[in-house]
Chains A and B, each alone.
Chain A
């Protein structure tokens, strides 16, 4: 089990004033179309990985917007980058890029965290 302590994990309630928005801010900077998501579920319905395992693209989007970064980092591994979600989204969101950005930001945060721990 990986150590996700570099991401501040959420409590039972969504504390809207205090959630970890580092992932969200990064994604919004490079993929502003993500703001228009209405959680219709079309992406999850068509997902290739969702067909094989418990992977839910819509939830990835929701967790991103509520700072559930712990759950995100595990789930995001399952995406096969096939692109079907982006092809069906009615809001024209580039979901494939959102996933790529999340993965990139998580690995950036991990490296920063490791570097920070070396200084100790």
Chain B
């Protein structure tokens, strides 16, 4: 009887909340374990979602409400760093030795934002007017528009793609998928609130994988006069008036380009979550070559880890946007139920 089974979901972001509520509505006992004092994860600090500029806060509120109505038991301020299989059950513990026992585990511990101070040549952490896309969302939530570190409205902003992704020099050679479209969305937002502000996007490639995304690209060019320059930023230097001088190459022109901008926004990528390496230690889970959690089968068993009984959902697996995360979370719930019903795995792994 699956109704007596207990599932532990690690991570109270939208993925964890979705899996937890689906499973709870199916009648299972679910405990959702979140390390912060509130659920919602990264989306708590986000302003508007691509491609339709809908509110992140509204979505998170819906998730929170869904979770509380489904009867999930939420545990706050607890960060699980150890999962061990003992006598057929899983024992989850944190550093204070709080122990939770479960018959199956879903890891939805999410991702870590790339630390842009590693790209020292871009000046993040050194120059006040160099911010990341994450900082931008915070600013938008707080002030409703982009402001320089001095509090003025910028006249020219450069958005830099692929910061911390596709870069062997910081150890991440993979693409973070969602940053290019985020950059275009943020460019449009800047111009919506500050019509006199010029925005330039410096890219290596434009990866707009979604069906609605090219429309946004067209809108960006037509309505907001966003300019796209193919060239990788090499350095940024601060001028005495705190504006920034950037050096890039306009590869389509074939010549180096020098430009003075008021602000730089770095589109930082998604990195594997900080707890991944600890979580895999006492069980058969493994990391893939990028440091994210490894799937048993990347095509039709993406939610299954290499440890039977432990599943995963959301960006713990790989970079993905909000809609994919939620679908992925529901799929994880299905895997858990099949696991309890002893369904065969059809040779997937």
Contacts and interface: CB of A to CB of B under 8 A. Distances in A.
A14 interface: no
Given A45-B234, A46-B234, A90-B162, A39 B169 contact: no
Nearest to A90: B167
A40 B169 contact: no
A91 interface: yes
A50 to B, nearest CB: 6
A47 B249 CA distance: 10
Nearest to A55: B256
Interface residues on B, range: 20 to 34
Interface residues of A, number: 22
A89 B235 CA distance: 13
A1 to B, nearest CB: 23
Most buried by B among A44, A51, A58: A44
B6 to A, nearest CB: 46
B11 to A, nearest CB: 30
Interface stretch (B84-92, B94-102, B225-233, B285-293): B225-233
Contacts of B249: 41-42, 44-45, 56, 58
Contact of B234 (A38, A42, A91, A92): A42
Nearest to A39: B251
A42 B232 contact: yes
B121 A88 contact: yes
A42 B167 CA distance: 11
A46 B234 CA distance: 5
Contacts of B235: 45-46
Interface string B194-228: 00000000001100000000000000000000000
B161 to A, nearest CB: 10
11 contacts: A38-B204, A41-B232, A42-B232, A42-B233, A42-B249, A51-B256, A59-B254, A88-B232, A89-B168, A90-B169, A90-B232
Interface of A: 38-47, 50-51, 56, 58-59, 84, 87-92
Interface of B: 121, 162, 166-169, 204-205, 230-235, 247-251, 254-257
Question: 9 closest Cβ contacts across the A-B interface?
Answer: A41-B249, A46-B234, A45-B234, A42-B232, A92-B168, A41-B251, A44-B249, A40-B232, A90-B167
